[in-house]
Structure 1
Amino acid sequence: MPFLRLKVRRSHIIDDALVELEMIAMERALDLKKQLVVEFEGEQGIDEGGVSKEFFQLVVEQIFNPDYGMFTQRQDEVTVWFNPTSFETEAQFTLIGIVLGLAIYNNIILAVNFPMVVYRKLMGKKGSFEDLADWNSTLYNGLKDMLEYTENDLEETYYQTFRICYTDVFGNNLFHDLKENGDDVFVTQENKREFVDLYADFLLNKSVETQFKAFRRGFVMVTDESQLGTLFRPEEVETLVCGSKNFDFNELEKSTEYDGGYTSESQTIKDFWSIVHSLSLEDKRKLLQFTTGSDRVPVGGLSHLKLVIARNGPDCARLPTAHTCFNVLLLPEYENKEKLEDRLMKAISYSKGFGII
């Protein structure tokens, strides 16, 4: 069989994917390296890429939702992290590792905001103090200040012992001794480096060891025979998963195709691109999210996105809609540029863009 076939129910997408992928991983692990074909139970339609893309979107959206309890997100940081007190099974973390690997194999960009240390750890490295910089910049800067503090009164100034306090997802304070009888050992000029290294090691490695091992196990199931670990740096693996950071909308305009009567010379299309090129980066990301289901740029740039803009009837009051699974923007032929801009901005600001297919 040339494909990896999954049949899932929308209402039980995580449970169904977990059961099927677990069975495949145990009985025929090599199938994980085949192209994914997804079928939603009770729905017609052949998966030519769009259904698989929607499957990934739905899984990521659900599993990374803080309410689901597997991952946490601090308000002052944009990244997500493993919940060290998660009630979910290791199998759930293995599943998201498999999903990450499958996304790479199937050229699907995921809306996943991991700090770089996750990709370093996937490559077999351990999290260290420097990795705290984008994991928790406030903590990193505080510890960096401590390391750079040269006065002899460090113990009195910081009044910090080797017992640390952190909070769980419910806001409860938890305590951990970085070494035996940690609350009796004060941080001094002599041992501050040891304190910082032990602190980082606990937060990035030991506190989430069970969750991360399961996650990495799933990732390796899919990628073990590839050259990811030897040919790619962690930053490049992040790009494979999350896409490029180069938002060149001139590339997107050149590669966009038109349908339903539109051409690149249609006045509505000319107005559309004039509006798009004047948008802020934030609004451009909203437009990508609206039309494709992700605000990420594919590896290789926006010219690889294969956007289609289709005419969706004559001038009317309706907002533009989108079939995100197929990167299709349905755009009525509005009577003027002002109306087009008003409707487009409303659409990308208040809707996720899922059209009815």
Structure 2
Amino acid sequence: MLVTDYELIPGGRNIRVTEENKHQYVDLVAEHRLTTAIRPQINAFLEGFNELIHRDLKSIFNDKELELLISGLPDIDLDDLRANTEYSGYSAASPVIQWFWEVVQGLSKEDKARLLQFVTGTSKVPLEGFSALQGISGSQKFQIH
């Protein structure tokens, strides 16, 4: 394995990481690993992407709309979502919960994707299903309060 030294800032090899500058160091390492180190790959991707989708066309879409155009609508397995839902102040048998699931069942594929976007922040179903749904603190079930 080839190891290459890379100065994150000019003269960085002579600067010790301290309590005072550790956040800057972490930011610089992340920037390097996520952009600088893979710049050729990013540029190749963008070149191919720009060949497929004209720049003017991209500017009229936000990131979520562009994701939807590229990936399409997700297939939402409502049985999986129900099985991975936690209720607070309700149970799965509560009338209001039953009504909720009846309404969701009747939604179009597009409206189900919008609901998923609204309640989870993404219109994508996790590859492993809703048992792998991620929240701010890691793995988290869909919750109804």
Q: TM-score if structure 1 supplies the norm length?
A: 0.23
- SS state of the match for residue 87, structure 2? strand
Q: Note closer, same or farther for the CA distance 1:254–1:20 as it changes in structure 2 (3 Å cut).
A: same
Quote how far apart the aligned CAs of 1:290 are. 1.1
Give the equivalent residue in structure 2 for 1:285: 113
Distance 1:294 1:263 in 2: 25
Give the equivalent residue in structure 2 for 1:267: 95
Give the equivalent residue in structure 2 for 1:253: 82
Instruction: Decide whether the 8 Å contact of 1:249 with 1:302 is kept in 2.
Output: no
Distance 1:282 1:301 in 2: 19
Deviations 1:223-275 (A, max 9, x none): xxxxxxxxxxxxxxxxxxx8x9432121101111111x211111110110011
Which structure has the greater CA radius of gyration?
A: 1
The one-letter code sitting in structure 2 at the alignment partner of 1:258 is: Y
- SS state of the match for residue 118, structure 2? helix
Instruction: Decide whether the 8 Å contact of 1:257 with 1:308 is kept in 2.
Output: yes
CA RMSD of aligned residues (A): 4.3
Quote how far apart the aligned CAs of 1:283 are. 0.7
Q: Percent identity?
A: 35
**Number of equivalences:** 99
- SS state of the match for residue 144, structure 2? strand
Distance 1:279 1:26 in 2: 42
Quote how far apart the aligned CAs of 1:303 are. 3.6
Give the equivalent residue in structure 2 for 1:70: none
Deviations 1:76-102 (A, max 9, x none): xxxxxxxxxxxxxxxxxx28x79xxxx
Is there any run of 5+ residues in structure 1 with no aligned partner, and where?
A: 8-18, 33-93, 99-117, 137-166, 170-241, 311-357
